[in-house]
Amino acid sequence: MPLLGGIRPPIAVLCVLILALAGLTAKVLGPGDDAVVPEAVLSSQKYFAEDGAIALRASIDERVTDLQRTATAISAGRPVKPERILSDLGRTYQKWTGTSVVDLESGEVLAERGEAVPLSWLDKEVLTGKKALTPRMVRLETGDVRLMTMAVLDWSDRPQQLLLASSSLSVPAINLGPFRTMAVVAKGGEVLGTAGFEQAEALNSDQERQELSFLHKQMTRLADQAAVRAEEHPVRAKEPGSRGYPGVSGTLLGGQYNGRIATAGYASLASANPDEKPSQAAGLGLTVVALLPVVEQKTGDQGRQLYGLAAAGVLVLLGLLAVTVLWATVQRPLLRLFLESRRLARGDLTRPVSVPRWGEAARIGAALERLRRQLAGDGTDSDGAPRRRVRVGGRGPLVVTAVLLLVWCVPVGLLLNRTDDSVSVPATMVNDQRDRTDLIADRLRRALNEAQADVVSTSRLIGEENHGDTGRILEEALLKHPRYQALYVVDAEGGITARAGTEPHDWTRGEDLPLVRVSGEGGKEPIVQAGAPLPDHKDGTLVGEIRVEFLDSLLARPGLGDVRVVDSEARTIAAGNGFLAFEKLPDGALTDLVRAAGLPVGAGPVENGLLIREGNGVTVAAAAPFSGGGVTADIGWTVVSKQDASRFQIAPYEREDRSVLAGMLGLAAIIFCLGWVYLVVVRPLRALAGSAEKLVDGDLKTVLYPVYQDEVGAVVRSLELLRQQAQALRHNQARRSAETGPGVGGR
């Protein structure tokens, strides 16, 4: 018999799969070897570092854009004195530690404000070439590092001037939450700036000071490791086919102190996506590291080892019973038929056929016995062996075997290690959900402020002298700023005097109306508008409509679940996973959370996190209202996020997933092996039983062809030989009858 044919291989494979699944069950469902830090906590630190890197990149790019926008607006008008330039720049933006204007022809410093920055780094390579005027990191005499941003002031009747602005490479002003620290790291691992470390003077005990010293050392060590890993290529640093953050990101584990382990996430600064223009900040080689000491998780219940061994033992017992059923009801009768049919085909017709008790094998055995009697001349068909008609065929043993194995698969997959609303979720996950939601809110607020600032900058380019070129200016601005879907100028009566992009919408005037507003209720999508008065046009306003898709892209962050932006009435304005315009929040608890977050506490509303236990599930939710400066500070929007805790990689859910996986693997083994037996053995046996009964009923013309080279095929070949013998016997009997017929008739 071929190695892969017949009844033996599927039964042997079933035995191997059962033993392998039993070993896997004992390993993954048994020993309580949970990680000292849940994988969900580590992933959360990586996501937090990615959010910090995105915020830092946006902050640096915003500084570059602001300076270039200011230089463009100043260069488009009449020449302005350097002192006036720096004064207006200081009143408009408070993000730079020092500013100066340098004459490019003579190299003379024309004006300077704030921190003095040495100009020894300013050479020809900085001002020319492919990387001209790109941000540079410059070290001061004090050892501090400053980010230098440059833009050219160009008037037709004056020499070019260089506008310089220096700023510290500090962590963006984001909420880090309790105990978390964040650092900006250069290529060599040097820590350029940190946030979150408590001051030693504010600590109350030597133990707290020792822990602070431990965290400083851990940050230095982990920053070195993160800088090395950030040097990898973003594609090679990820798993093949994986998506997500475009830069290099990951997690690190540090040392342990006083029952807490230092965990860190890191992320290099990278462009938002390949379709957008390259980020100026992405070329600085910076990495953000987020450090959080996490309480060491105790190893799981050692009694689970007994559960795993018990589940594996039950599987082995049921598997042996199932294999025994297959052996006794399918394999053994088939092998007996194979031996009996071969014996008859060789001419041994003296001994009766050992007929199996039931099933197709019984039908074939009865047919063989009748055929033996016909060939041996022991009697006619009427007095031959009785036919065995059994209701339960060969599919019965397969059903019994499947039921025996399902007795194990179903409880393990659906009942073992099931979780409910009593699952203990680490407090770190709730805090991270709240802090990351607040970070998204801050990022969205800054993006809207930046959008309104772009409208203000564009409005300054529209003057009385170039009023005829307004359409061209709007078209160019629309190409430079893909966040807009339309730009248009509205006059005092509300009419559109110039436009670019999609069809404009109404802009309502009013002193009490905000410059950034939302409308379009009842439509397919909200209309988010940002406006700015035209400086040289009485009652004229430049309006930019912000694409909702742009807002959605800011909300789509891994590890946060469903993220939405709602207005003061808890109606959805944008969402990361699709939404209906102005729809209410799907959960009443989220609505209450949004209202609670909007209540003024101290200086203003604060973000809130909540662990919701409903039914058999656990949900982590957070709400963060807009707060801070800018024109959108009082817009009344709130970012709310909700995530099913079952997606967290924590021990209870991991054990549940392993149980489901074990049940699914068992089900797959049942389908594979029993399907194999059915296709290779049971179905051919059913066809063979019908052919054998037709043969003994007198159908000697139908040739029997073996389809498989296995036991069933061997029985078919033997029956074909018996058919030929029966056909020859009938032919001889007919010939003898023909030869003796004339002699009898002549007497």
Which pLDDT score, from 0 to 100, does residue 385 have?
47
Residues 69 and 216 in one domain: yes
Alpha-carbon torsion (676, 680, 685, 687), positive or negative: positive
- Enclosing domain of residue 689: 7-16+305-380+391-416+668-735
Here the tokens at position 725 are 């013998």
Give the chain's largest Cα–Cα span: 150
164: pLDDT strictly greater than 80: yes
Instruction: Name the DSSP letter for residue 604.
Output: B
| CA–CA dist 128, 122 (Å, integer) | 11
Residue 33 has pLDDT above 70, yes or no: no
Mean pLDDT value across residues 302-331: 85
CA 148 distance to own-chain centroid: 37
The verdict on 693 and 594 lying in the same domain is no
Rg of the Cα atoms in the chain: 41
Dihedral, CA of residue 694, residue 696, residue 697 and residue 702, to nearest 10: 40
Report how far residue 530's alpha carbon sits from residue 515's, in angstroms, rounded to the nearest whole number. 6
What letter would DSSP give residue 571? B
**Percent of residues, the chain, with pLDDT higher than 70:** 88
Average of pLDDT values for 1-27? 82
Say how far apart CA 550 and CA 542 lie, in whole Å.
Answer: 20
Residue 258's pLDDT is: 82
Determine the pLDDT at residue 266.
Answer: 93
Residue 699's pLDDT is 83
In a domain, 103, yes or no: yes
pLDDT value for 226:
92
> Is the separation of the CB atoms in 351 and 372 below 8 Å?
no
Question: Does residue 464 carry a pLDDT above 70?
Answer: no
Are residues 351 and 314 part of one domain? yes
657 within a domain of the structure (yes/no): no
**Do the domain assignments include residue 246?**
yes
How many domains, the chain?
A: 3
Tokens of 733: 């009997």
Which pLDDT score is estimated for 626? Answer: 86
Q: Is residue 658 part of a domain?
A: no
Final residue belonging to a domain, choices 252, 282, 298: 298
pLDDT tens for 64-105 read 888 887 888 788 778 888 888 888 787 766 778 888 998 888
Average pLDDT, the chain: 82
pLDDT digits (tens, 9 = 90+) for 230-280: 888 766 666 544 567 888 888 999 888 888 889 999 999 876 554 455 677
Task: Please indicate, yes or no, whether residues 237 and 351 belong to a single structural domain of this protein.
Answer: no
**Of 682 and 92, which is predicted with more confidence?**
682
Whether 431 and 478 share a structural domain: yes
- Same-domain pairing of 699 and 626: no
Residue 527 has a pLDDT of 92
In a domain, 24, yes or no: no
CA angle 679, 680, 685 (to 5 degrees): 95
Element (H, E) at 684: helix 683-696
Q: Mind listing the pLDDT tens digit for each residue in 692-746?
A: 888 888 888 888 888 878 888 888 898 889 888 888 888 888 888 777 765 544 4
CA distance 598 to 604: 8
Q: Please tell me whether residue 558 adopts helix, strand or coil conformation.
A: coil
What does the block give as tokens for 316?
Answer: 């082995």
Average pLDDT score over residue span 172-176: 73
Render pLDDT for 560-599 as a digit per residue (tens, 0 to 9): 889 999 988 889 999 988 888 888 888 788 888 888 877 7
Beta bridge partners of 292: 263
CATH of the domain at 588: 3.30.450
Residue 185 dihedral angles phi and psi, to the nearest 5°: -120, 135
Structural domain includes residue 740: no
Residue 422 lies in a domain: no
